[in-house]
Amino acid sequence: MIKRPRRLRKNEIIRSLVREYKVCVDDLVYPLFIKDGYKLKEEIDSMPGIFRYSIDTAIEEIKEARSYGIKSFILFGVPEEKNLECALSGIIPKALRQIKREIEDIVLIADVCMCGYTKEGHCGIVKDGVILNDESLTVLADIALSYAEAGADIVAPSDMMDGRVYEIRKKLDEHKFTDTLIMSYSVKYASSFYGPFRDAAHSAPAFGDRKTYQMDYANKREALMEIELDIEEGADIVMVKPALSYLDIIHLAKEKFNLPVAAYNVSGEYSMVKAASKMGWINEKDIVMEILTSMKRAGADIIITYHAKDVARWITCQ
């Protein structure tokens, strides 16, 4: 007797009825680049359709995205001056306060790092060409606290310094921000997929690379160790970045650990899709949904993606 699994693929209604994994609007986090100024909306050459916003235009963008059902946003600062004071009291704390005053019922995530705020363009304190781990921890914790004080619901350390989750949790708790979540970039690979982001945030390293603190993309067991350490130190959500080439890591994280797993669909992944679509080689909607569904299937509970607004318009799952 012939087995006929094709019966479950007979038409779109049946296929949708039995579909195992679906990307929903509630899964999505929309990244926004925020800079000083007024009425600014600058398209990023290497990321078509993505912009640097001043706070007022970012609020307009958030309101539009919110109308499509997107409720969560991660903010990256693009400061006018390269100094750590801008990280502590500059554009992101200002943006958090103003957005929170004007828009209710959203979650704001603040990326915690130094790379966009120093002339060296590295994610920690630099001395004599060396990125110093322990000396960076206090600064990262201070930045996280300033974001929590400004209204961040979640702080997201992306620096990959050892011990930073512990220092941030300790600092937040000491200042009564026990309800502020930490979404740690637990597994952040030293990846070539970050190029367009560094263009957008003006955060490329001024010398060398980030391979002494970001992970070697050949390593799998190390990823599980990094996640375990961050959970022990107090992370509430763990992240794998990039996502598309690391679906196996997302799957392992979901299988082994009982915490929400975020996948960051990064700038290079976004820009490759946009470039291929522009050339007419792919159908953008179809491939974006296939890519994001693969992340969901691998185990991602949260998907950070520059495609968020388009995806929210395309899908109806709530």
188 is catalytic: yes
Q: Is 203 annotated as a binding residue?
A: no
Contact between residue 56 and residue 102 where contact means Cβ atoms under 8 Å apart:
no
| Cα–Cα distance measured from residue 100 to residue 107, given in angstroms and rounded to the nearest whole number | 9
| Cα–Cα distance measured from residue 302 to residue 278, given in angstroms and rounded to the nearest whole number | 28
Catalytic residue selected from 171, 241, 274, 296: 241
| Ordered DSSP codes for 254-315 | HHH-SS-EEEEE-HHHHHHHHHHHHTTSS-HHHHHHHHHHHHHHHT-SEEEETTHHHHHHH-
| Cα–Cα distance measured from residue 306 to residue 215, given in angstroms and rounded to the nearest whole number | 23
Q: Is 24 annotated as a binding residue?
A: no
Q: Is 267 annotated as a binding residue?
A: yes
Q: Is 115 annotated as a binding residue?
A: yes
| Cα–Cα distance measured from residue 29 to residue 149, given in angstroms and rounded to the nearest whole number | 21
Closest CA to 190 of 159, 165, 167: 159
Catalytic residue selected from 35, 188, 254, 296: 188
Distances from the Cα of 183 to the Cα of 26, 108, 154, 155, 169, angstroms: 17, 12, 7, 6, 11
Count CB atoms within 10 A of the CB of residue 31. Answer: 22
Q: Is 221 annotated as a binding residue?
A: no
241 is catalytic: yes
Distances from the Cα of 215 to the Cα of 62, 95, 201, 250, angstroms: 33, 31, 21, 15
Distances from the Cα of 284 to the Cα of 91, 297, 311, angstroms: 33, 20, 11
Q: Residues of 230-254 as b/e, b for ≥16 C-beta within 10 angstroms?
A: bbebbbbbbbbbbbbebbebbbbbb
User: Helix or strand or coil: residue 228?
Assistant: helix
| Cα–Cα distance measured from residue 260 to residue 239, given in angstroms and rounded to the nearest whole number | 9
Q: Is 306 annotated as a binding residue?
A: yes
Q: Detail the residues annotated as belonging to a binding site for 5-aminolevulinate.
A: 198, 210, 267, 306
Q: Detail the residues annotated as belonging to a binding site.
A: 113, 115, 123, 198, 210, 226, 267, 306
User: Which of the residues are catalytic?
Assistant: 188, 241
Q: Detail the residues annotated as belonging to a binding site for Zn(2+).
A: 113, 115, 123
